[in-house]
Amino acid sequence: MWERITAAALGGAAILVGAFSPAFAQERGGVVNVATIGELNTLDPMIATGDLLGMVTQHFFETLYTFDADWNVTPLLAAELPEVTEGGKVHTIKLRQGVTFHDGTDMTAEDVVASLKRWFSVASRGQLVAAKLDKVEAVDDYTVRITLTEPFAALNSLLAFNNSAAVILPSEKIADTLTEYVGTGPYMIKERRVDQYLQLVRFDGYAAREGEPDGFGGARKQYLDEIRFVPVPDANTRVEGAIAGQYDYADLLPVEAFDRLQGQAKTEPLVLDSFGWPMFIMNNKEGVMTNPGVRKAVQAALNAEDMLAAAFGKPEFYKVDGAMYPEGYPWRNDAGVEAYNQGDPEKAMALAKEAGYDGSPIRILTSRQYEFHYKMAQVAAEYLKAAGFTVDLGVFDWATLVQRRAEPGLWDIFITHSPFLPDPTLIAPLPASYPGWWASEEKEKLLGALNTEVEMDKRLAIWADLQKQIYEEVPFYKVGDFSSLSAKSPKLKGFSGSAWPYFWNAYLEQ
């Protein structure tokens, strides 16, 4: 499903993600240093969303299911896909036996039930299921049953997702606020020094699945002794550290660094085509953006092409496209896209006046840790000013932005991005619980229908109606499609690039 940018298109040799040749014998041992875009504000993947959080915590927490290389749901801690009965309302899940937590205790149905109950309560995606939940129970020591009030097509995908994740914890460690981060993953936490590193070490009691690696699924092989996630908020520092050999992997680099990374001895560029989409999330709960006319005016003002060009430079790294899914995905449709990429300040000014806009500042939250967020924000601010809006551009570190966006009184727009996900029900701003708090009656009706319908043709039609509703109500603004740039050491083998990079199965060439 992931397409690749050719080296010729980028003007030289590039390492294409997934292009791994097992020419070297896998070596056990070694430490990999991973430069991330910043510090995490939590290590609890249930209570927060975010790609960085999912990327890191998936190494020590695991879910019942995950995704294979083709984005199909595949078992992880579950022994097999669920047995679904009663017209889609009862899901019986057999668990793998012999799975051990990092504290040495065995994983049983009691732990899974307790974990899922916490997920239903505190996780934004778990709450989607909770609204249709009758009960969750342990049938025996290694069987869990989820009974719903009506069918819920997205359940398996939600249970597989590493974002607002249904991770499985020891029942005795579960609390409203976690104080111990004990999972079943191939690595476990040894030490955390905030703003310096998170040190993970091999969990020798790990119970890997049999077979070969398959995307996030299949066997998770533990070649590395240690993985260190190092927060490096400045993008240029990540680039220079990769070139110097300080980091074996550097995540989400500015695309203008591509040429500099080529031909280096200690690092090489990796490009993931059609990685995802940046979006401007509107505050539908409090402040100036609660006015739908103002949101429509902002939509009319923004020029997506200029924002993408400023953010990504080379046209090969972006595509001006208003559809919520790119070509090649079954979910792609063009409903509502005529409202995309207008870049019309005069029309925006007229719409704002009609909506009664009073000159209140539009407070935009962005971060330079994702440099492309910041560049898009700068361009957006100029287009909004040209349309007569007052703009207050706030630049924060990512952890602070995540904290601030949870407070509806502190912002009007914040900038984020998402990979293209296997099911649209996983798109972060769709649930009313996600910051932005989009909760219109029509949207809830369509999202409920999308979640409940099990026939794919009908789900595709519902999704087209929901995409049209996004353009009608403007709860968020899709800027376009983009490809990501990272860097890795030539010695790092067995690594497959993905939306959430993972380092099980990877090893260092000696």
Taking only the tens place, the pLDDT of each residue in 429-440 is: 999 989 999 999
- How many angstroms separate the CA atoms of 386 and 395, rounded? 21
DSSP code for 411:
-
Residue 32 has pLDDT above 90, yes or no: yes
Read off the pLDDT of residues 194-245 as tens digits, 9 standing for 90 and up.
Answer: 999 999 999 999 999 998 999 999 999 999 999 999 999 999 999 999 999 9
Whole-number pLDDT of residue 19: 38
Stretch among 22-26, 50-54, 140-144, 294-298 having the lowest mean pLDDT: 22-26
What residues are paired with 51 via a beta bridge?
none
Calculate the CA dihedral of residues 499, 251, 247, 197 and round it to 10 degrees.
-90
Token pair 């579960």: residue: 174
Residue 3 has pLDDT above 50, yes or no: no
Whole-number pLDDT of residue 25: 59
- How many angstroms separate the CA atoms of 35 and 420, rounded? 23
Domain range summary for the chain, segments of one domain joined by +: 273-484
- Helix 371-386 to helix 345-354 angle, to the nearest 10 degrees? 70
What residues are paired with 319 via a beta bridge?
481
| 3-state secondary structure (DSSP) of residue 256 | helix
Work out the percent of the chain whose per-residue pLDDT is above 70. 95
User: What integer best gives the mean pLDDT of the chain?
Assistant: 92
Q: For the chain, how big is the Rg over CA atoms in Å? A: 23
Read off the pLDDT of residues 315-364 as tens digits, 9 standing for 90 and up.
Answer: 989 999 999 999 989 999 999 999 999 999 999 999 999 999 999 999 99
Residue 44 has pLDDT above 50, yes or no: yes
pTM attached to this predicted model:
0.84
Structure tokens at 120: 């239903």
- How many angstroms separate the CA atoms of 27 and 313, rounded? 39
Is the CB of residue 82 less than 8 Å from the CB of residue 91? yes
Work out the percent of the chain whose per-residue pLDDT is above 90. 83
- H/E stretch holding 147: strand 143-148
Whole-number pLDDT of residue 497: 85
The domain 273-484 is placed in CATH, from the list 3.40.250.10, 3.10.105.10, 3.40.50.720, 3.60.150.10, at 3.10.105.10
Q: What is the mean pLDDT of residues 34-42?
A: 93
What does the chain come to in residues?
Answer: 510
- How many angstroms separate the CA atoms of 15 and 264, rounded? 12
Cβ atoms within 10 Å, residue 307: 28
Q: How far is CA 186 from its chain centroid?
A: 21
Residue 9 has pLDDT above 70, yes or no: no
Whole-number pLDDT of residue 6: 39
172-177, Cβ contacts within 8 angstroms, sequence gap of 24 or more: 172/105, 173/103, 174/114, 174/115, 174/118, 176/122, 177/44
Handedness of CA 13, 15, 20, 23 (dihedral sign): positive
- How many angstroms separate the CA atoms of 263 and 167, rounded? 41
Stretch among 367-376, 384-393, 458-467 having the lowest mean pLDDT: 367-376
Whole-number pLDDT of residue 4: 39
Token pair 């409090």: residue: 286
Q: What is the mean pLDDT of residues 441-449?
A: 94
Residue 486 has pLDDT above 80, yes or no: yes
Read off the pLDDT of residues 55-82 as tens digits, 9 standing for 90 and up.
Answer: 999 999 999 999 999 889 999 999 999 9
Residue 461 has pLDDT above 50, yes or no: yes
For 7, 234, 280, 318, the CA distances from 311, given in Å and listed in that order, are 21, 16, 14, 9
For 82, 92, 313, 471, the CA distances from 85, given in Å and listed in that order, are 9, 8, 52, 37
- How many angstroms separate the CA atoms of 81 and 99, rounded? 17
Q: How far is CA 14 from its chain centroid?
A: 24
Cβ atoms within 10 Å, residue 382: 15
Residue 20 has pLDDT above 60, yes or no: no
Residue 21 has pLDDT above 90, yes or no: no
Read off the pLDDT of residues 374-418 as tens digits, 9 standing for 90 and up.
Answer: 999 999 999 999 999 999 999 999 989 999 999 999 999 999 999
- How many angstroms separate the CA atoms of 24 and 508, rounded? 10
